[in-house]
Structure 1
């Protein structure tokens, strides 16, 4: 049977899901089943592996972002961007946290300027700089977090400040991997909860002009997922957080992670693209997975640095 428009009607099951939607869900689950254990192994293997992982993610993300945004010239624009991104990742290895945080905070402004308020001819040049700020300066915070386990922070502190290390830093020196896993797994929980809640009961559009598939119900589900995951992981890892602190951190991660997702959706919408790439089956490109992670790494690092953890 055909509709009046001459198209075959969509086949749906009892839950209203199309065969294509089911296939996409299977791909998402399969990618997660393979990718998550690999991610855990690399993080637990040591800070150097985390550094390599962050560098690779930065380069792949920049490649997708530059292609998406029309930054065409490899040698004149893309290559300097790759070098800058790697330099910022190195800043995480050398614990330049305050500089990295300032640069990460500038990245949304730079990306917005690159898409709206400057002449067309200058936009690729600004995006060449904005991309490394968006990915390199943020992912470097993951390197910073993981470095706490190796005692690198103590060595750097003693090199520059001949004073006793504060108790709050001493408590954190052996929990770098736990804090990094907390940031990543809580963010994945936000994404997963938002996806399934929105898919199941989502009715009210959150930002239809940017991402028509996102709903307020999904956003609330993601927020709840972030709070639940952060609280549970805090107990599992034995982090020195009070219950209200864990819930507060989870709520912040739920909001910031989804805001990062919306920002990347706005970039894709501006360039009429559904996904940033096709590297991860069922998810899109590497940029589609990093969008909600990058700023949450900054949040967890500075939530910890300010003495809350």
Structure 2
């Protein structure tokens, strides 16, 4: 997105594309905020996003000539979300149980098939794809479950739940990192970061994204009243600045392997759901475990 050789910023095509991207964000942002605010709607939002993203991922696999099992993949994705959501209610390790069920269940379904010529590869792609999306995305349900009280903040009047504040924080530093990389790379990008996987990404854009992630993290501490120091906020910003682009490149690797440009077309100007969440899939788990360490 942050290409050095892209068309000029003033060209009609780029202006229209940018307007479509902004309009999509304006429409989706209130839905995301509302979905994250209450735990039941958060798990519903995660379940919908998981379903759509797994559907797009498996469609890409099929485009590449592979045969993932969509029904099994969706079931695993939903199972992971449910296990994460209900984990606080029991001492049983539901995520471990979900993994056992996923592995055993998918192997049993392959045994039951008459045509087992592609069973091994199909089983591996089904399991890996479901955990790539559902497993990583479930980190936002874990963030939503954090309950340590906030420390006032400029938005204290809104009574944002602590867990929701951490989800908003992680989404903000990830997506604004991507935005910073896009604009800085478009204006100053010269040195390609990963010419084979993502020719339009540049190191200049990466630097701009890193600066945006750190600035956003620092701004969110007083804005949301997050119970961390500014130094810890910088660390989280750096993490987002590194793992966000890596998540993007990971999806680019998959798309290159199967020969597609976008995972889908559900979000105008952004491509598919997977194209929009590829970065947050990587930042969510890392931010969650760092926050847990910082809050101890």
Q: Name the TM-score class by shorter chain.
A: 0.7 to 0.9
Give distance in 1, aligned partners of 2:288 and 2:87: 11
Q: State the shift of 1:16 in Å.
A: 5.3
C-alpha RMSD of matched pairs (Å):
2.7
Secondary structure of 1:283's aligned partner: coil
Q: Cα deviations across residues 231-288 of structure 1 (Å, max 9, x unaligned)?
A: 1011211112111110011100110111000000111111221110000000000000
Give distance in 2, aligned partners of 1:98 and 1:249: 28
1:82 is aligned, of 74, 77, 90, to: 74
Q: State the shift of 1:95 in Å.
A: 3.3
Distance 1:255-1:99 versus aligned 2 partners, 3 A rule = farther
2:39 maps to: 47
Query: Matches of residues 262-277 of structure 1 in structure 2 within 5 Å?
Result: 262-277=249-264
2:237 maps to: 250
Secondary structure of 1:206's aligned partner: strand
Give distance in 1, aligned partners of 2:45 and 2:197: 30
Q: Cα deviations across residues 197-240 of structure 1 (Å, max 9, x unaligned)?
A: 11111111000000111010111111111111111011211112
2:268 is aligned, of 272, 276, 281, to: 281
CA contact (8 A) 1:92 1:144 kept: yes
Give distance in 2, aligned partners of 1:308 and 1:272: 43
2:140 maps to: 142
CA contact (8 A) 1:65 1:276 kept: yes
1:29 is aligned, of 19, 22, 37, to: 22
Q: Which runs of 5+ in 2 are unaligned?
A: 1-6, 100-116, 152-160
Distance 1:241-1:18 versus aligned 2 partners, 3 A rule = same
Give distance in 2, aligned partners of 1:98 and 1:230: 32
CA contact (8 A) 2:191 2:203 kept: yes
Give distance in 1, aligned partners of 2:146 and 2:295: 16
2:105 maps to: none
CA contact (8 A) 2:150 2:225 kept: no
CA contact (8 A) 1:70 1:124 kept: no
2:112 maps to: none
Give distance in 2, aligned partners of 1:256 and 1:271: 23
Give distance in 2, aligned partners of 1:284 and 1:50: 23
TM normalised by structure 2 equals 0.80
Q: State the shift of 1:35 in Å.
A: 0.8
Q: State the shift of 1:308 in Å.
A: 4.1
Give distance in 2, aligned partners of 1:129 and 1:32: 31
Distance 1:147-1:199 versus aligned 2 partners, 3 A rule = same
Give distance in 2, aligned partners of 1:305 and 1:212: 36
1:132 maps onto 2:119 in alignment = no
Q: State the shift of 1:138 in Å.
A: 1.4
Q: State the shift of 1:306 in Å.
A: 1.9
1:220 maps onto 2:207 in alignment = yes
Give distance in 2, aligned partners of 1:73 and 1:295: 25
1:94 maps to: 86
Q: How many residues align?
A: 258
Q: State the shift of 1:186 in Å.
A: 1.1
Give distance in 2, aligned partners of 1:39 and 1:218: 26
Q: State the shift of 1:121 in Å.
A: 6.8
Name the stretch that deviates more: 15-24 or 140-149: 15-24
